[in-house]
Every structure is written in C-alpha cells, then in structure tokens.
Structure 1
C-alpha cells in the first residue's frame, strides 16, 4: 500500500426511477458504448425494482442486470484500500511490525476467526511497547513454541508446548551473586558463560536462552532435562534476544480494542471528516456485520469528491437518483423534453425526438462501428419495441424502425415474436395490488409551481385484469399525499386496442384532465381513444392547461 496511483472511480450510467425496459437497457448499452469510445470504466446501474417485463428481457437474453443502487453519492467502498493485511490476536507484535514495514502502513486491523474487526494495532502502540520492554521487568505469558519462532532458536531441552509465565532478563551478574536474583520459573538470557549457565539451571529458572549460538555442557543439558527446564539456543546477541522476546507478546495484548471505524456504505464525505477530525492515519472499514472490508487512509482525504454520472432515458430532476444534483453529470442520453437539471460543467447532451433512447444508442454503435454482442442487441431491440409499443405509439419514428431492423440482424431475433413475449411479461403473477399499478411506472413532472404524477401501465385486455377503480383512485390519492403532488393520474393503455383509460387522484385532477382532453369522467375514468403515449399525448396537454391557468 505504498503510495499507489489512484484507479479512477467508475462512472455510473443510470436510468430513471421506477425503471422500464428502456431505462435499464439504455444504461447497459451506453455504459458499454462509452467504455469502448473513451476507455474509461463505467458501471450500468438501476434504481428501484426492475419491472416484470424488464426482468423477462434480462433472463430471456442472458443479460447481466445493471447494478442495483439507492443513490449515486460517493461511498467509502468506492475509494477504500481493499488489499489490507489482517492480523490475528495471537500473532506476535514482531510479526505485525514486519508486516507494517513491508506494506508501508502505520496501522493494521485485527480480526477474529470470522473476519470481524476486534482491534487496531498502530505503529505508536508498537513504539510504546518497545520502550516499556527495554527494562525487561514485565512478566511474559508465552508458549515456548512462540519463542522458538521469534528467536529462530533450536530446542535443546524441555517441552515446546509449555507456557512461560515469569520475568525475562539478561544475566549480567557474576555466577556467585546471580543465584540470589533468580525467581522460580524466570526466563534468563545468557551467553557463552558456563558458570553463569550452571547458576541459572541450578537456581530454579524456568527457561535458559543461550545467545550467540553458545554451547552447553552435556552435564548441564542432563540437569536441565531432569528438571524439565526449557533451554533454547539462538544466534542473536543477548540484547537482540531480549528485544525479540519483548516483541513476542501477542497482538491481542497490545492492540486498541473496539477501534473507531466506519461502514463501507457510509458517505465518503462524512468518513473523510471523521478521519480528518480524529487526526488518524487510517480508519478501518467494516460491513453491517462488523467484518473488515478495508481501510480508509489519509491519502483518501484528497479523493475525488463528486461522483461522475451519465443519465439515460431521463433528465427531469424528480426522476433522477438521489445525489445526482451533487454529482458531476457528464452526459445525458434521452428522448424526452428537457426538465431543468442544473449542471456544474458543460456536458454531452444527446436528446432527440425518437421513440426510445436505445434508438439513439443503436445509431451511436453504427456511426462509430462499435462492437455489439447479440445479447445486448436483443436488450436494445426489446427496449425500442416496448417504448414504441411495437410501432403503435405516436412517438414512433422512421429512425426507430431502422434501428429495429438493424438490431434484429445483430441479435438474430424476430421483432414480432419478441414483442408478443414482452407484452405477455408485463403483468406480474399473481395480479399485483393497486399500489403496483400506480407506482411501478410513475413519473413526476414539474410545471411551474405544480408537481404532477403520471403513471402508466401498458397491457393487452387491460380492463379484464385491472383492480377496481376505487382501489386505484385510493392508491393515487396516497401518492399525492406522500409526495406532496398537485394531483396524479394513471394511464391504463391497451396495446392492441390502441386507446387508454385515464384515472385521476381527485376532483382537481379530473377537472384538469377534462380541460386537457375534452372527455368526461364516467364512473371514475375517462376513455381516451388513440391515446397511447404519456410523453407525447398526455404531458403536453397537461402542461398547456397549466400554462394557460398560471
């Protein structure tokens, strides 16, 4: 983790809320096209739940679904260091120090058997431990096996599984005075001094550590063996051996327990503030189960602060993902009217009057001779057939028809056969409640001071499967209250009959619709013949009435 170069944060390509097939497939297609054109990493995303029709498309043509997201804010997981060494509490501080030196970090997380964060070992804690152990006055609590490993020692006598629980110190006295200093079980460090070695063994020590590969007479080995005294031999000097013993302490005794940490889903801006205010070198990152995911480092304080996003199939603020207004929008690919988004910088806008966003993207593939897989071509074909209702919608253009013909070739699919499958897949099984009919394809439009919700469901024989009108009106009324709308409508479109029923949330909505279409409401609905397009036939008329009344 030594000063690596940043990998640019991927660009998110995302459609509108309550995504339809065009919102999902245009995000997939443009993410692929943009990556081919620029070489930048993109991720196709979707908001909310994928509609049954769209799910059918993804499964039928084996398309990997876009990433499900709740917002486009930058989160800790977008920048955190993932390649993080983990310590276990039983590892020695020496092993931890070597890892710190090798990886160039000032702190290491400590985890349990389930990768749950239980502590943090910092460089400062290691330094404090070093200073404490210079006096060698603290009792240690270590198995012989750990000392063998730390000192790179050989076992001359004794049991490698034995626990040592006394002082560790260097024998600097003469042999005749040394005996009075030894406590039962002490760990005594001795060089090539036979008389001192004998004094240690006969004085009741628990462990003799021979430094500088010092020899030990056979008779002393016999006495040590008889007394079950542990004797180790190491190549290190007495002072070096003493320091290494101090570093044999397990990490669990030195670490900071329950350290300050953040969640991988936390907003990056909030975690950056926490890291900055605490003056720490790093902040462990965990998931909701407490399992370690990575580290947020001080170099991440300078990380990109705004997410770069591309919007497909929408541009109205009310239809965007949370966080879009605070993001850097670098492109909008759409076929709807412009809806008043404000951007930080100039951007690419491809917004033209065709029946489907995927038509514009298909033309982009053709112009630039980009590679297109049959699976993605099938998804784009399905999106155009869905948005244009297989050319029945008045939004259909010759460009849509040409795009369909080209995509049929690229996907090796028949448009008519695909359309039948699409329309059959639109209604979930079992028949969903009224809230689904209102909310599954609801879009909110702002006209001056008015916010109007307009939902649409397109099916065949729709009047035979729709819930009672009273239930749909109640669901519309709830949406008006929850979202503080002026009013709301539901357009129930029969694909084959090529007309629609219009429902309103309240009397204000009915009055607005009568002014817009000149058709009365009978038993809670108004029949609109040859009206199939929300965008082209409903929104402009509502906007015109509100503009005249403003």
Structure 2
C-alpha cells in the first residue's frame, strides 16, 4: 500500500511545509504510514529555515500519486493538489476559513482560529503525549514565528505564544533573536523576478463568484520594494489573463512597522469593493493599509463579506 501523502497549500509558506512534516511524523508515531510533500518550491524564508536546521526539504509534487491524502494549512480545493477531486481526503488540520470543500466519506477534521497550523499540531502532540524531536520542534517554532510575525500579527493567540515558548525550549533556540533573522531572510526580494514574487505566496479565493487572488511579500522597506511597481503590474496582468481572475491584490508588508501597501488591479466594480472594504482610495494602483499584516484575518474576511 502506498504511503498517505500529507501536504499544505500551493505556493507553500513555512507553515504549509512544516505542518506537513510535523503532522506526518505525528501520524507515523500513531502507526499510519505517511509521507510529507510540498506543493511548490521553498521561498527565501523557508530556505533559510531548512538550511539553518540542516533539514531536507520534502519532495515537490503537483498531483498526488496515492489514493488517500491529508491536508494541512488549507482546505479550499483551488489551493490544493491538482487532482484533489480524484483522491480521498482522510484528515484536515487547518486554521483558515472553510470553503469549496466537501468529501464523500467521513474524515478527521480539526480547525481552530489560531495564528498557525503548527500550533494546532503542537497541541495534538501534547494531547497524545507524543514527544517532539528537537529538529522538528525547531521547524515548528519557525512556522509559528512566520505566521505570527514573531507574535506581532493580530492572528496571534495565547496558545501560539505558549507553543512557541515550549517548542523553543525543546529546540534549544532563543526564538526572539533567531526569529528576527529568519523574518529578515524572507525579505530578500532582489534575487526574485516579478513573476516569482507575485506567485510566491499567492492564494486564490472564490468570493461570491469573483475570482480573487491575494499575494503577500514581506519587506523592511516599502518604498524600495515599490520601485519595481511596473514590473509587478506587468506580471500581475499576465497572471490575471492566464487565470481569468477578477481582482489581484499584492500585499507588500513591512515587518518592522506592521504596515502594508497593496498593488491592486481589476475592473472598476471590483476596485470599488476594495476601496469600500478598506475605506481607502486606490491611487496609481496603490492602496495604503496601515496596521494590516494578516491576509487571513485583516483582508480575506472583510473582502468576502462585501463581495
């Protein structure tokens, strides 16, 4: 029998990959034969994490080569493996909204509104009294740092903080010093093409029949990153044409000041919804979103409600 695959969403961030590794290890300890895989190559931050802790990145797939799969850090079909409709989903562990998801058979589904999927998995380890190896604890710690922006994101909960402190003790790592270096590593954008950046952390959402794509990149200098605005816009327009998207939002977030400027492209009707949602004006395709750092909590729910 083939191993059951465990994976996060397409264009994986650190949590999507780490949650797959951690949950696969957890299930293996429970006697279920699984393999963690990734639905894309690592971004700069994730490369830093895996290099720093000398851990091999899982194999990358686009379609599942097994009959059964487990989903972590996502549930929406458009964010999952290409042949998701042809396989059986047996488990989901997630911290996002539930949309465009259904199964033929009963399954294990664990969702909580926490800052990071790896926090949920940490709780599962504790509930089952399964010890977390130091190296996996290092990865899970990194995932929480990434998703909560070192506990500064509004998605952060007391449980995320407790998990991060516990995992850092297991890993033997000062999470504050390491975390800042890790987040800064993810802001090295110069080596990436505009196309790579607008695809790197992009998620597509169905909002009342509108196809909305939201990408996010982190930086320490908004104005310096926006010097490439024309490149970004050209890449975004190409993606919108190929994917037939109604609205594309590129969130450029300053991790030091917790502010965002967004490049927003679409027709007048969808742009007006964006402006209404965030009580802002789009000028030269740019919208300023002070205090916005979380796509999951500060962008997607508000847009979805207004659409």
What TM bracket, shorter-length normalisation?
Answer: over 0.9
CA shift, 1:477, in A, is 1.5
Aligned partner (choices 52, 63, 69) of residue 61 of structure 2: 69
Q: Which residue of 2 aligns with 1:152?
A: none
Alignment partner for residue 330 of structure 1, among 72, 84, 90?
90
Instruction: Report the Cα distance in structure 2 between the residues aligned to 1:30 and 1:314, rounded to whole angstroms.
Output: 13
Could you say what secondary structure the match of 1:505 adopts?
A: strand
- The count of aligned residue pairs is 306
Task: Quote the offset at 1:425 in angstroms.
Answer: 1.4
Deviation per residue, 1:168-206 (Å, 9 max, x gap): xxxxxxxxxxxxxxxxxxxxxxxxxxxxxxxxxxxxxxx
Q: Offset of 1:507 from its aligned partner? A: 4.0
Partner of 2:24: 31
Q: How far apart in 2 are the matches of 1:430 and 1:526? A: 23
The aligned residue for residue 7 of structure 2 is: 14
Partner of 1:471: 231
Deviation for aligned residue 1:53 = 0.8
Shift of 1:428: 4.5
| Structure 1 residue 467 displacement after superposition | 4.3
Aligned residues of 1:11 and 1:41 also touching (Cα < 8 A): yes
Q: Distance in 1 between matches of 2:277 and 2:191?
A: 31
8 A Cα contact 2:249 2:265, kept in partner? yes
Shift of 1:510: 2.9
Q: Does 1:537 align with 2:302?
A: no
The Cα offsets for residues 281-325 of structure 1, whole Å up to 9 and x where unpaired, read as xxxxxxxxxxxxxxxxxxxxxxxxxx1100000001110001111
Report the equivalent of 2:69: 309
Q: CA deviation at 1:466?
A: 4.0
Give secondary structure in 2 for the equivalent of 1:439: helix
The structure in which a higher percent of residues are helix is 2
How far 1:40 sits from its partner (Å)? 1.8
By how many angstroms is 1:41 displaced?
1.1
Indicate yes or no: 2:204 matched with 1:444.
Answer: yes
1:359 aligned partner: 119
Unaligned runs of 5+ in 1: 1-7, 75-306
Q: For 1:127-142, what aligned pairs fall within 5 Å after superposition?
A: none
* Structure 1 counterpart of 2:130: 370
Measure the CA separation in 2 of the matches of 1:429 and 1:443: 19
Counterpart of 2:148?
388
Distance 1:465 1:503 in 2: 11
CA contact (8 A) 1:325 1:343 kept: no
* Corresponding residue for residue 48 of structure 1: 40
Partner Cα separation in structure 2 for residue 335 and residue 456 of structure 1: 18
Q: Is the 8 A contact 2:222 2:261 kept in 1?
A: no
1:426 to partner: Cα distance: 0.9
Residue deviations 1:348-390 (CA, integer Å, cap 9, x gap): 1111000000000011111111121111100000000000001
Q: Does 1:458 align with 2:218?
A: yes
Secondary structure of the 2:86 match is: coil
**Structure-2 separation of matches of 1:51 and 1:10:** 26
How far apart in 1 are the matches of 2:21 and 2:184?
23
Kept after mapping to 1: 8 A contact 2:187/2:218? no
Counterpart-to-counterpart distance in 1, 2:183 and 2:106: 39
Runs of 5+ unmatched residues, structure 2: none
Distance 2:188 2:256 in 1: 19
Tell me what 2:159 maps to.
Answer: 399
In structure 2, distance between residues paired with 1:525 and 1:314: 29
Match of 2:183 among 423, 427, 435: 423
Match of 2:172 in 1: 412
Contact 2:73 2:95 in 1 (8 A): yes
State the Cα distance separating 1:440 from its structure 2 match: 0.5
Question: TM-score with structure 1 length normalisation?
Answer: 0.54
